[in-house]
Amino acid sequence: MKNEILSRLSALPGRIAFYYKNLTTDECIAFREEEPMMAASVIKLFILAEAYRQMAAGRLDKDRLVTIHKDRCVPSCGALTYMHDGLQATVEDLYTLMIILSDNSATNYMIELLGEEAVNEGIRSLGFTKTILNRRMYDAEKSARGIQNYITAAEVGDLLARMAQGTLISPEASADMLRILKDQRLNGKIPFYIHTIPDHAAIAHKTGEDTGITHDVGVIFTKKPFVLVFCGNETDVAAYEREMAEISLLLYKANA
């Protein structure tokens, strides 16, 4: 199975990275897992982790109300762009929308509340050296200058493994982050075929998309739970997403 997966990934155009870890057996399959990749919306996982770090430290209140202004909203994904000016949302609303709808406006509000440097400090405190938040969502000026956010498949995989094992921030924080990820509404990649299986296992995941970029990363709670990370830059998005769905099903059946 490992050779088949690596062969399929190698045949794809562009820059492809992959990471699989079985949380029961510690078996790993990895492909260019240390290569920095433009993050798209997967960086939102690290923003979520920082929110929980600050809440645990008493520096952030999940019930704090934030007023949403239309002139500060950015294009979709998301819902806030379409809501009325002056809407009040809690911090918990914002980080939930940031994950389950990949809401870019909610993400920017969260970055403002947390502090960009604090997010990067949190990333470094977790031992990650290649993941970095360099700009907000839809920052056209920085994007035009080639300033991007970066992840690696291995660091995302480690973050998710810690979450699944209850060691990211705290057992309670880990469980709550997984609860949000299980409510993901964008399910056309890793879960695409798995969701056709009756009584399928839960999937806690986060996607990322941009021009020529497609990611999906998550934890699949089969009998032998596993972490799965697909990252693609400058690739054939449709072709890679088909492979994501098929490889995910293959690994799901192997661990059911």
**C-alpha–C-alpha distance, residues 163 and 180, integer Å:** 12
H helices, E strands: number in the chain: 10, 9
Q: Residue 58 is encoded by which pair of tokens?
A: 């008493």
Give per-residue pLDDT as tens, 113-124: 999 999 999 999
Give per-residue pLDDT as tens, 135-176: 999 998 999 999 999 999 999 999 999 999 999 999 999 999
What is the count of structural domains for the chain? 1
| Cα 231 from chain centre | 10
Looking at every residue in the chain, the average pLDDT score rounds to 97
Percent of the chain with pLDDT over 90: 98
pTM (2 d.p.): 0.97
Percent of the chain with pLDDT over 70: 100
pLDDT of res. 84: 97
Q: For residue 36, what are the domain limits? A: 2-255
149, 134 contact by CB (below 8 A)? yes
Q: List the CATH number of the domain containing 87.
A: 3.40.710.10
- Is pLDDT above 90 for 76? no
pLDDT of res. 53: 98
Span 231-246, average pLDDT: 98
In the chain, alpha helices (H): 2-10, 43-56, 91-100, 104-114, 116-125, 140-144, 153-165, 171-182, 191-194, 237-255
- Is pLDDT above 90 for 199? yes
**What is the 8-class DSSP label of residue 134?**
-
Q: What is the CA angle 140-88-62, rounded to 5? A: 90
Give per-residue pLDDT as tens, 40-69: 999 999 999 999 999 999 999 999 999 999
